Amino acid sequence: MGKLVIISGPSGSGKTTVCKLLTKDPHIKKSISVTTRLPRDSEKNGEAYYFVSKHEFEEMIQRGELAEHAEYCEHSYGTPMKALKEALVKEGFYLLEIEVQGALQIMEKLPETISIFLLPPDKKTLGQRLIQRNANREEDMENRLKIADKEMEYKDRYNYCVVNDDLAATVSTIRKILNLA
C-alpha cells in the first residue's frame, strides 16, 4: 500500500523546492494539483499544475473528481482523486503539496496520512523569498503574507513541523520521518 504524505507551509516556506528534491527518489511521487490560477513563466500545464478555468474546476467538483479542494488568494486548488487512488494501491510515498484547509480535509478522510508542516526560519526570510520569487504581484504578495500568519496557527494539527533553514537538512529530516534515511 502507498503512503500519503502532506507537505504544507506558508507560501515562501520552500515546499515546492523541497518536494522537487524529495521526488528524486523513485519511491516518492508527487500529486499534480488542479488550479484556476494562471501559470507562472516557468510552469507547464501537466507538470506544475493542471491549469483549468473556474467552470472546469466547478465541474470537477460536481463529478466528485477532487479528493479535496480549497480557495487560496482568490483561486481554487484541488487534488485529483483518480491519481491519488491509483498511488495508494502501489508501493511508495505520494506527496500532496497543499495548503492548510485542504490538508485538514485529507487528514479527516484519511487519518493515517503523514502530515508535515514546513516553517520558514523567520518572517523576514519568508518576505524575502516571496520578493525573490518575484512572480506574484505586490498585492498578491501581501495577501500571501497575511495568509501565512493564519496558516501558522494550524501547524500543531500536523504530525511534524520542520524548519526549512537549510534545504539539504530539511530533505534529510523528511526522509528520516519517512524511514527512507
**Pattern 21-60, binding to ligand 5GP, x per CB under 6 A?**
------------x---x-----------------------
Q: Shortest Cβ distance from residue 168 to ligand 5GP (Å)?
A: 21
- Residue least distant from ligand 5GP (Cβ): 102
User: Is 13 among the residues that bind ligand 5GP (CB under 6 A)?
Assistant: no
Q: Shortest Cβ distance from residue 180 to ligand 5GP (Å)?
A: 22
- Please state, in angstroms and rounded to a whole number, the distance separating the CA atoms of residues 181 and 171: 10
- Please state, in angstroms and rounded to a whole number, the distance separating the CA atoms of residues 174 and 181: 9
3-state secondary structure of 155: helix
Closer residue to ligand 5GP (CB): 91 or 167: 167
- Please state, in angstroms and rounded to a whole number, the distance separating the CA atoms of residues 104 and 117: 12
User: Is 70 among the residues that bind ligand 5GP (CB under 6 A)?
Assistant: yes
Among the listed ranges 53-61, 65-73, 115-123, 172-180, the one in contact with ligand 5GP (CB under 6 A) is 65-73
Binding positions for ligand 5GP, 75-134, rule CB under 6 A: 77-79, 97-99, 101-102
Closer residue to ligand 5GP (CB): 77 or 94: 77
Written as nine digits, the cell of 155 is 501547524
Exposed/middle/buried for residue 75 (C-beta within 10 Å: 0-12, 13-18, 19+):
middle
CB 154 within 8 A of CB 108: no
- Kindly give, in sequence order, each residue whose CB lies less than 8 Å from that of residue 106, ignoring residues fewer than 6 positions away: 4, 6, 67, 68, 79, 96, 98, 113
Contact footprint for ligand 5GP (CB under 6 A): 11, 15, 33, 37, 68, 70, 72, 77-79, 97-99, 101-102
